[in-house]
Structure 1
Amino acid sequence: MDTTEPFDDPRLTTMGLLFEAHQGLVAKLDPAWRAAGLSGLDLNALLRLARSPGRRLRMSDLAAQTALSTSGVTRLVDRLAKAGLVRRESSPGDRRSTYAALTPEGAERIGQVMPGYLAAIERWFTGLLTPEQLDALVAGLRVIRDAAHPDATARTD
């Protein structure tokens, strides 16, 4: 039996390319958020808050969108709150729900990161693709995300 055949499967190549692209992009984008004293996880959470209605999310939704456990998102929000970048808010309609909300200081910090971050995204990711390639990639990523990580989409309720 030929044991090398399964290792020549093009699906393995596709996954390997995805992992390598992700690792390479993180390495290229890291200096942009580090310059503002943030980790990639910090920036991800702050951007999710900034792009959400009212610039806030339920803690459980933030956990799902950042792929953190409830204790992990609690630690993240604690750290960001200590830095003055987010605050916790109680839900008036549901005492069991707590929200993480972006503060003006958090919005200012994101504003500091954006020029360098967007320039790096353009240089190392979106600018390498034609508009057609980028449209196809975004469409494909949405299909995969919706199937593999449906909790990452923002809730509208």
Structure 2
Amino acid sequence: MNEQLLNDDDVTLYGLFVEAFARIKPLVHRDLGMPDAWFEVLLRLGRTPGHQLRMTDLAEAVSFSSGGFTRLADRMAKEGLIRRDPDPDDRRAALAVLTGKGAEALDRALANHVSQLRRHVTATLSTEDRRHLERILTTLRDTNE
């Protein structure tokens, strides 16, 4: 085994990132009242002007294959959280639209989510640490599209 690579700082840094996320995710997703994937979809729609996105764009944003996302969207539509509307700009495409029931479910989930985020993430960071973490995560996201 290559001891130098086993103990490489980059390997350690990535490992810490993965371990921290694995520990934090179940804590901040506690008490959402819905599956994590549903919360992510509702959050993306809630934060988008007009509360609607093309189905393909939403599937990509939540890292789902189009087929997997279609099944997810079907279940969410059946629950009345989203609806599908035709895309007026592309007859072949559909828009996922946040419904009133979906917005109410998102509000309930966000109240718990924000509380858990503050408890398990931001309470442990200084204002400067938060700014650095945001810059680092934004850089990693934007340079690896």
**TM-score class normalised by the smaller sequence:** over 0.9
Instruction: Establish whether residue 107 from structure 1 lines up as the match of residue 64 from structure 2.
Output: no
Amino acid at match of 2:66: T
Aligned-residue RMSD, C-alpha: 1.1
Indicate which of 122, 125, 145 corresponds to 1:129.
125
Q: What's the TM-score once normalised by structure 2's chain length?
A: 0.95
Larger fraction in strand: 2
Indicate which of 63, 67, 80 corresponds to 1:71.
67
Indicate which of 52, 58, 76 corresponds to 2:54.
58
Structure 1 vs Structure 2: percent identity of aligned residues? 34
How far apart, in 2, do the equivalents of 1:143 and 1:79 lie?
34
Q: Is the 8 Å Cα contact of residues 30 and 116 (structure 2) preserved in structure 1?
A: no
Partner secondary structure for residue 92 of structure 2:
coil
Question: Could you list the runs of 5+ residues in structure 2 that have no partner in the other structure?
Answer: none
How far apart, in 1, do the equivalents of 2:118 and 2:45 lie?
22
Alignment of 1:6-85 (within 5 A): 6-33=5-32, 36=33, 38-85=34-81
- Deviation above 4 Å: which 4+ runs of structure 1? none
Q: How many residues align?
A: 145
How far apart, in 2, do the equivalents of 1:12 and 1:76 lie?
34
Following superposition, the deviation at residue 30 of structure 1 comes to: 2.8
Following superposition, the deviation at residue 106 of structure 1 comes to: 0.3
Q: What's the TM-score once normalised by structure 1's chain length?
A: 0.88
How far apart, in 2, do the equivalents of 1:141 and 1:66 lie?
17
Q: Is the 8 Å Cα contact of residues 46 and 102 (structure 1) preserved in structure 2?
A: yes
Following superposition, the deviation at residue 112 of structure 1 comes to: 1.1
